[in-house]
Amino acid sequence: MSRRWLLPALPLVFLAVVLVAPVLRLLAEGLAPGAADGAEPLRWLDVWQDDYLRWRVLWSFAQAGITCALALLLGLPCAWVLARREFPGRALVLRLLMLPFVVPTLVAAMGVLALWGPRGLIGGPLAEVGIELADTPWLLLYGNLFFNLCLVVRAGVDALEQVGAQRLAAARTLGATPWRAFWRIEWPAIAPWLASALCLVFLYCFAGFGLALVLGGQRYATAEVEIYTLVAHELELGRAGVLAVWMMALTGAVALAYAWLERRLAAPARVAPVPRQRPATALQWLGVAGAMGLLVLVCVAPLAAILWHAASALFVGQGAAVLTDADTLAALGNTLRFSVLAVVFATALGLSHAFALQSSVTWRALAFLPFVVSPVSVAFGLLLLYPDWSASLPVLLAAYALLAWPFVTKSVTAALDGLPVHCAQAAATLGATPWRVFRRVTLPMIAPALRRGMAFAAATALGEFAVTLFLSRPEWTTLTTLIHQHLGRPGAAPLDAAFVLAALLMALALLAFLLIEGRDRRAGDNARHA
């Protein structure tokens, strides 16, 4: 093997073994199901002829589509306020928009329960007057908004900053009202950016697992939850395979649309942005307050509710004992151990991939593959392809690294794209070896981006849930699976323990948030693509 192929060999082999081969095995199971579990073969279109499975797929579509509509309806006004108004705390709000990107899905689900559940700060009083939210789709939709509203807001702010001030001023000079100027000038410019963000929102909601498992209940669980149920509880691999193949096909179609939109936005034009103005009237200040209040209600309130319930459980309830429980200490150790190892593997893969894809468009596209296939499909494919290794630590860590690796790749790639070529060339001219050029020149210049990617990878590994449910042993329980176990037990004490553990996991995730935002305020630009 020539030296130039050594760099891409590691991520290429890893991708083939951990993602491509399991997906092909899953496709084979879906195209010819029934043999693995002794059931009658299932036809390709049986998903649509079975009322129960059809409802799961259609509801997965519906909840993702409704979330997209709500995120656009609520997020666009917030983005306009942040892009066009200057007010105290604006910079802090932009940084806090990063919070949902690093909070584990199970923590977000606990936050929704803490706020809107039967014992929640808002849901409890509503239940007392006869308004029960537990059997409605509201909990899942609100949880989806928690994660995805900020994605639309951030994309909207970035897009509005690409609108030229001269064009907007010319429209106003010619007599256009503010609404007409927005509709004719700003909206056409920001629509592709918002469409790209909404594709991501749809993907995250359609292929989501943790939120749907905890908040969906029996009626409003999504197809991803149904795949897990068919595999883990009913052992119907054929039906699960057919359903998983349909989900991958539908997800892939949306991912192609996202990639096409991102290609259009790859080189935004340089323009003079519209200067932000301080609110001058009471109505303008009311608009700012309304936008900030909405962001607090959707993106901050669930986290605050977790802290409230955890504090109550620690000082009033029965939650303090869980912190010193042997199961908790073991789960904490497993979580930290798996996360550290996954970040190490993801960093090695991400660096190799980033440097290899500098000269290849195809390699750049491969960075999106782990985002296209859901964690449930990844775990199911690994379970089918490597049944003798399904409960082994290497397979579990490989799945963790697969989900975390793209964050390192994309962050480092963005840094390499902006790296001055003459620095490395000058070092090489002075006799430095390629390794010395990398260690003394390139690495210090990309270090902030590398830290940022590693922090995203750490947050992903800390909150991983779906893969752990499929591939973990009982002795490998992590904080996420331990929280899920407590939620499945009756009584107030397990619920108190779950809230305390959720607060602990949130604290670990916020440490990653500090790594992301503490050194580089541009991290949100990376998160928009992640």
Is the pLDDT confidence value at 516 over 50? yes
Is the pLDDT confidence value at 168 over 50? yes
pLDDT in tens, 262-304: 656 555 556 667 788 888 899 989 999 999 999 999 988 999 9
* Stronger pLDDT, 417 or 203, i.e. the higher one: 203
Is there a domain that residue 79 lies in?
yes
CATH, residue 123:
1.10.3720.10
pLDDT in tens, 340-359: 999 999 888 888 887 776 55
Total tally of structural domains belonging to the chain = 1
Q: How far apart are CA 433 and CA 135, in angstroms?
A: 64
Is there a domain that residue 63 lies in?
yes
Looking at residue 501, what is its pLDDT? 92
pTM of the complete model: 0.81
Is the pLDDT confidence value at 34 over 70? no
Is there a domain that residue 180 lies in?
yes
| Residue burial 484-521, b: 16+ Cβ < 10 Å; e: rest | bbbbeeeeebbbbbbbbbbbbbbebbebbbebbbeebe
pLDDT in tens, 134-167: 778 889 999 999 989 988 998 889 888 877 777 7
Nearest to 235 by CA among 378, 384, 375, 382: 384
Looking at residue 525, what is its pLDDT? 41
Q: Is 34 left (phi over 0), alpha (psi -120 to 50) or beta?
A: left
Looking at residue 448, what is its pLDDT? 81
Confidence of residue 68 (pLDDT cuts 50, 70, 90): very high
Is there a domain that residue 282 lies in?
yes
pLDDT in tens, 216-239: 888 888 888 888 888 777 777 777
Confidence of residue 35 (pLDDT cuts 50, 70, 90): very low
Q: Which residues contact 150 (CB under 8 A, 6 or more apart)?
A: 75, 97, 98, 99, 100, 101, 295, 299
Tokens of 94: 């932009």
CA 245 from centre of chain: 21
Side-chain half-sphere exposure of 181, counting CA atoms within 13 A: 18
- Which residue in this structure is represented by tokens 């490998």? 476
Looking at residue 143, what is its pLDDT? 92
Looking at residue 428, what is its pLDDT? 59
Q: Which residues contact 16 (CB under 8 A, 6 or more apart)?
A: none
Looking at residue 37, what is its pLDDT? 46
Is the pLDDT confidence value at 27 over 80? no
* Stronger pLDDT, 518 or 217, i.e. the higher one: 217
DSSP output for 117-132: STTSTTHHHHHHTT--
Ranking 5-9, 62-66, 79-83, 501-505 by mean pLDDT, the lowest is: 5-9
Is the pLDDT confidence value at 481 over 80? yes
**Residue ranges making up the domain that contains 136:** 54-223+275-298
Looking at residue 290, what is its pLDDT? 93
Highest mean pLDDT among 164-173, 317-326, 484-493, 497-506: 497-506
Percent of the chain at pLDDT > 90 equals: 15
Side-chain half-sphere exposure of 11, counting CA atoms within 13 A: 27
Is the pLDDT confidence value at 529 over 70? no
In the three-class reduction of DSSP (H, G, I as helix; E, B as strand; rest coil), residue 121 is classed as coil
- The answer to whether 465 and 106 have CB atoms below 8 angstroms apart is yes
In the three-class reduction of DSSP (H, G, I as helix; E, B as strand; rest coil), residue 277 is classed as strand
* Stronger pLDDT, 471 or 329, i.e. the higher one: 329
* Stronger pLDDT, 525 or 49, i.e. the higher one: 49
Is there a domain that residue 173 lies in?
yes
Looking at residue 362, what is its pLDDT? 62
Is there a domain that residue 518 lies in?
no
* Stronger pLDDT, 361 or 514, i.e. the higher one: 514
Is there a domain that residue 78 lies in?
yes
Strand ranges for 292-429 from DSSP E = none
Looking at residue 46, what is its pLDDT? 67
Is there a domain that residue 155 lies in?
yes
Mean pLDDT across 359-378: 72
Is the pLDDT confidence value at 22 over 80? yes
